[in-house]
Every structure is written in structure tokens, then in C-alpha cells.
A and B are shown apart, each in its own frame.
Chain A
Amino acid sequence: MGLEAKLQQDSFFTTTFDAIISWARKSSVWPMPMGISCCAIEMMAVGDPKYDIARFGSEVMRFTPRQSDLMIVAGTVTYKMSHVVKKIYDQMPEPKWVIAMGACTSSGGMYRSYSVVQGIDQFLPVDVYLAGCPPRPDNLLNALIQIQEKIGRTKARDFQNLPNPELLKN
């Protein structure tokens, strides 16, 4: 009451710690472009001026997992590739999110065959599944907005878990 009125006079405002941290997190989601096949072309289109992912604070495509928060798995994941995808995912620092972009990634898509993983949720925790073959760029933006809404619902303390001890062994 008294404090708030005093601070507002001096161009300050009060908020909760959780709100400001999740606001910062969701406004600067740095994607790891895991472009494996044709969906990656649409993912590139998202970065261009027409669709412009920079409007949502995610223009910083990091080609190293160590600097990214969001993995966009764009393309057909084969069994052979699944180990690579998982390894890169494990290298991303917490907190991290995953978009399964397109039909192949979400469910194997039209590749109903022995070599293709029938959905990456068999080995990765997926936050948003994205329909389409390939999905349009605005659809990917929609997925990003959904991720942002999800991040907005989290609290800072949700991610205080320590690194997986299994991973430290290697």
C-alpha cells in the first residue's frame, strides 16, 4: 500500500519473482533448430521477414544445444537418428521444452515403416505437437505461442531439480 504508492511515484512497480522470471523466460525462448528433413524448410521460413519469429523474441536460433531452451524437432526421426536427437536434447540446460513439428515427428507420419520412430514421444518429453506435413510457418508460430503460455504458467521453483545423476556418470 504505502510502499507501492511510494515506488510508483519513482517509476517503479512491484511484482512477484515468479511472474518476472517466467515473463523473461517466455519472451526470450532460444530455439535449437533440430532440422532433420523437409519441415526444416518451413522452420527457416519462420525466421524470414514475412513471418518473423523475432516478433516473439525467438530469433536467436542457436546451433549449439548448450545455449538453447527450446528444441524444434523438425523432420523424420529414424531409429538411427533418435540417439543423436536424444544426445543433443540431453546437452540442453534445464529448463527446456520440445516442439514435435510435423506429422513425422509426432507420429511417424506417412513413414509407417521399420526404420522410422513412430513419434518422438517414445524417447523425448514433448510439450507441443504440431500438425501438418509440413506445417505452415504461422502454425509453428502458434506452437511457439503455446510454449510461451506454458512457460508463463510455470514457477521459478519448478526447475530447481539437479542434473540427472545418470548423465553425470558418462
Chain B
Amino acid sequence: MEFKDKILEKLNSNFPSLHVETTDFRGDFCIKFSADKVVEVCNLLKHDSELQFVLCEDITAIDWATSKNRFTMVYHLFSLENKFRLRLKVDIDESISAVDTVSSVWRTANWQEREVYDMYGITFNNHPDLRRMYMPEEFEYHPLRKEFPVMGIPGSLPLPKK
């Protein structure tokens, strides 16, 4: 049995009601599912003795600039044991703009989710320390949102006096 099928079988047996979409493009295997199950699925992927996705390489997001499913959260996982790279995708509506934190699963997700919050304004439920990562704390905008102009908003970032 191929490793991809093993992942899907584990997901199906543990979450029978979960609707899973998969894509497999040039060796990049990707799983898409609903946002409310993200912590449970991540816990399974990390702690299952055969899967062992112990490394959370990156967490990022996509802004599609649509009112329905505006954001997509993207999780890049790697299984050192199986030498397998997996991508998870989760859609979020603009009206919610929030998703449960996976920092309880991978500690490294703490800062990565802070980065996503800083850049996209997506909040993470139950996050231990949701502060901005890069921009100054008093900054009011989220730069990687599509409505944010590339050159920024004049006066939003103060310069020192000459």
C-alpha cells in the first residue's frame, strides 16, 4: 500500500464523517478538509505510530479576495520517519477569519501562527501568545491582505524626527 493511501485510510477510520479532498501534483500530496477538525487531524498525523508527521515546516495562508472562503490556511508537514512531505489546506470564511491553533500539537506553530496573524489578520483560537511577529505592535493593518497597498498606508509607520 502506498503511503498516501495509508494516510487517507487512517483519516477515514478515525474521522468517518470528515470530507477530505486530495490533490497530487508532481509529487506534492495535499489534503483539504473543514476547518473545525484541524487540531484533531493534526494530532493524529503527528502522534500516529506509522505516520509520525513530527515536523511542522511551515504554516502560511492565502488571501483569495473573495467573501466566501476568503482565506486558506496551509500547513506544510514532514515525516522524518517516512521521508514524506504533506500539505494540509483549510478554508476560512471572511466572516469568521479564525481557526483553532495547532500550537498545542507542534510548539513551532506558535510563532508561525503569529506570523500569519500579523500578515493576514487571521486569529487563532486558544493561541497562548497571539502578538504580531514582524510589524510594530501599534500597527493597525495586515500587509499581505489583498486590499493593502504595496507601498503601505502613508503615516501608518512612524519615522524618527529629523
A contacts with B, residue count (CB < 8 A): 15
Nearest-neighbor residue (CB-CB) of A80 within chain B? B136
Bound complex: CA of A80 vs CA of B132, how far in Å?
A: 13
Residue of B nearest to A87 (CB): B160
Number of chain B interface residues as a range: 10 to 19
Cβ contact of B159, chosen from A82, A114, A115, A125, cutoff 8 A: A82
Write the residues of chain B forming the contact surface with A, with a CB cutoff of 8 angstroms: 134-136, 143, 148-153, 157-162
List residues of chain A with CB under 8 Å of any chain B CB: 79-80, 82-83, 86-87, 112-115, 117, 122-125
In Å, the complex CA distance between A16 and B6 comes to: 88
Given A114-B148, A114-B150, A114-B152: A83 in contact with B160 (beta carbons within 8 A): yes
Residue of A with least CB distance to B150: A113
Q: Please give, as numbers and ranges, the residues of chain A lying within 8 Å of B143 by CB-CB distance.
A: 114-115
Task: Please indicate the chain B residues that have their CB under 8 angstroms from the CB of A83 in the complex.
Answer: 160
Q: How many A-B contacts if CB must be within 8 Å?
A: 40
- Min CB distance A12 to B, Å, is 45
B151's partner among A79, A87, A112, A124 (CB-CB below 8 A) is A112
Q: In the complex, what distance in Å separates the CA atom of A114 from the CA atom of B135? A: 10
- In the complex, the answer to whether A86 meets B150 with C-beta atoms within 8 Å is no
CB distance from B155 to the nearest CB of A (A): 11
Additional A-B contacts beyond A122-B159, A122-B162 (8; CB < 8 A):
A79-B136, A82-B159, A113-B150, A114-B150, A114-B152, A115-B143, A115-B157, A124-B162
From the candidates B136, B151, B160, name the one contacting A114 in the complex (CB within 8 A). Answer: B151
B148's closest neighbor in chain A, by CB? Answer: A114
- In Å, the complex CA distance between A162 and B9 comes to 77
Instruction: List A contacts of B162 (CB < 8 A).
Output: 122-125
Instruction: Say whether B150 contacts A79, CB under 8 Å.
Output: no
Q: Is A123 a contact partner of B136 (Cβ separation < 8 A)?
A: no
Docked-complex contact A113 and B157, CB < 8 angstroms: no
Bound together, the chains give a CA A122 to CA B143 distance in angstroms of 22
* Complexed CA–CA distance, A125 and B108 (Å): 42
- What is the CB-to-nearest-CB distance from B136 to chain A, in angstroms, rounded to a whole number? 6
A58 to chain B, nearest CB (A): 26
Q: Is the CB of A86 within 8 A of B149?
A: no
A114 touches B161 (CB 8 A): no
> In the complex, A125→B161 CA distance in Å?
11
When distances are taken between beta carbons in the complex, the residues of chain B under 8 Å from A87 are 160
